[in-house]
Structure 1
Amino acid sequence: MTARATSQPASVRRAQILNATLEMIGESGIEALTTAAIAKRVGIAEATIFKHFDSKIDILRTLIKTFTDRLIETSNNIQGSEADPYNKLILIFEAHLDMLKDNQGIPRLIFGESLSIRDQKCQDLVRNIIGHYTDLIQIIIKQGLEEGLFKTDLNPLLASKCFIGVLQHTVINHFMTELPTEKNDTDRGLIDFLLNLFKP
């Protein structure tokens, strides 16, 4: 039995609940997730969960929002960097894989099981991050077109959707097949293959 946790400040307790939830999602997905199981993992009474979150869905919303805010900030920083458009796309791809390495629960929640969450706000958050990335990748591809790095007939919208598709495939493939979370030659090979198709 998990030992009872000692009293903690609210911010610390919220972080413990969120981290425990992510760990459990990474291990066994969302379907089996309950507030009782989260409380047991943290070492607190289930009632304590509801002092910090309204429900399991509220916890999931918070996780998705935290993740999307962090990833949008990272991608915007890459977009604003001095890297050329080709390498910006590689950096964005690798940022996602670094996120996967740090915590498998996040990509499983966002890219693998978000559609199973019957909550409009959760689904809206996921659509927001996908929409943001579609717009961002299009901007980078248009920059590459202006600089002559990509073929002139490349459609930015279609190319951005292909990029996101490869990204989602890579993330999902890791946790579906229990591959190691570290980046590998196959991951880099996929993105290199796609980006080579963009070149003149």
Structure 2
Amino acid sequence: MPPASKHLPAAQRRAATVAAVLELAGERNPGEITTAAIASRMNLTQGALFRHFPSKDAIWQAVMAWVAEQLLKRVEKAAGAAPSPLAALEAMFMAHIAFVVAHPGIPRMLFGELQRPQASAAKDVARTLVDRYRRRLAELIEAGKNSGQLAPEVDGAAAAALFIGMIQGLVVQSLLAGRPEQMQEGAPGVFAIFKRGIVKQQTGSNPNRERKKP
């Protein structure tokens, strides 16, 4: 739960507000979260909350900015520690899943913002996050092709879209089941299928061909 102190410095108060919103988003529809509910969760008055944020939209923008910064930081760290482009892709996939499991309110916030018909600063941040993530994946896929790990015919843009779609699929299924941990249970098998579709096969080998009996 976010800190309850009424005398936090501005930066800590903003961070506590983000934490409160994500906590609430894990419990209910983000569209139903009011500034009154946020203030109540933080043991503040709405007036105190608005001293740090001029509007609810500004709060949502701060939340999405935090999500974008932390998620990209998490997956970049995972990719940077990997020994190869293919290993980096797998590390990013697992790090992303672990991040969402730790913060189950995030997918609710992201889906909610991306589905809003009207423009908003928070929606712009969400779109920028997805674009940056997709470009990073495409870079790793291209590096994998250049290193000979991945098949040269792999479409980088399509593979990046599939990568993101796999995560979204796991997220949706976990939301339907009400079990965030289900994402981590299914992630290794899902990535294994993705991996088989992009790796470069050795010349003369066919993993789907049954061995003949002697």
| TM-score normalised over the length of structure 1 | 0.88
Does the 8 Å contact 1:108/1:172 carry over to 2? no
Q: Partners of 1:83 and 1:29 in 2: how far apart?
A: 40
Gaps of 5+ in 2: 202-214
Distance 1:166 1:5, change over 3 A: same
Matched residue, 2:145: 145
Offset, 1:25:
0.7
Deviations 1:31-75 (A, max 9, x none): 210001111111111111100111111111001111112222333
Matched length: 196
Matched residue, 2:205: none
Q: Partners of 1:13 and 1:133 in 2: how far apart?
A: 29
AA aligned to 1:133 is: Y
Matched residue, 2:209: none
Q: Partners of 1:166 and 1:21 in 2: how far apart?
A: 26
Q: Which has the higher mean CA deviation after the structures are superposed, 99-108 or 58-67?
A: 99-108
Offset, 1:18:
1.7
Alignment of 1:33-112 (within 5 A): 33-110=33-110, 112=111
Does the 8 Å contact 2:57/2:120 carry over to 1? no
AA aligned to 1:113 is: G
Q: Secondary structure at the match of 1:52?
A: coil
Matched residue, 1:172: 172
Q: Partners of 1:41 and 1:9 in 2: how far apart?
A: 18
Offset, 1:16:
2.3
Larger RCO: 1 or 2 (CA < 8 Å, sep 6+): 1
Q: Partners of 1:57 and 1:176 in 2: how far apart?
A: 28
Q: Partners of 1:116 and 1:131 in 2: how far apart?
A: 16
AA aligned to 1:193 is: I
Q: Which runs of 4+ in 1 moved over 6 A?
A: none
Q: Secondary structure at the match of 2:12?
A: helix
Does the 8 Å contact 1:89/1:140 carry over to 2? yes
| TM-score normalised over the length of structure 2 | 0.83
Q: Partners of 1:194 and 1:128 in 2: how far apart?
A: 25
Does the 8 Å contact 2:174/2:181 carry over to 1? yes
Q: Partners of 1:125 and 1:139 in 2: how far apart?
A: 21
Report the identity percentage: 25
Does the 8 Å contact 2:31/2:112 carry over to 1? no
Gaps of 5+ in 1: none
Matched residue, 1:198: 198
Q: Secondary structure at the match of 1:31?
A: helix
AA aligned to 2:89 is: L
Does the 8 Å contact 1:79/1:140 carry over to 2? no
Does the 8 Å contact 2:174/2:182 carry over to 1? no
Deviations 1:68-97 (A, max 9, x none): 122223333444445211111111111111
Matched residue, 1:8: 8
Distance 1:185 1:103, change over 3 A: closer
Q: Partners of 1:67 and 1:6 in 2: how far apart?
A: 24
TM-align CA RMSD: 2.0
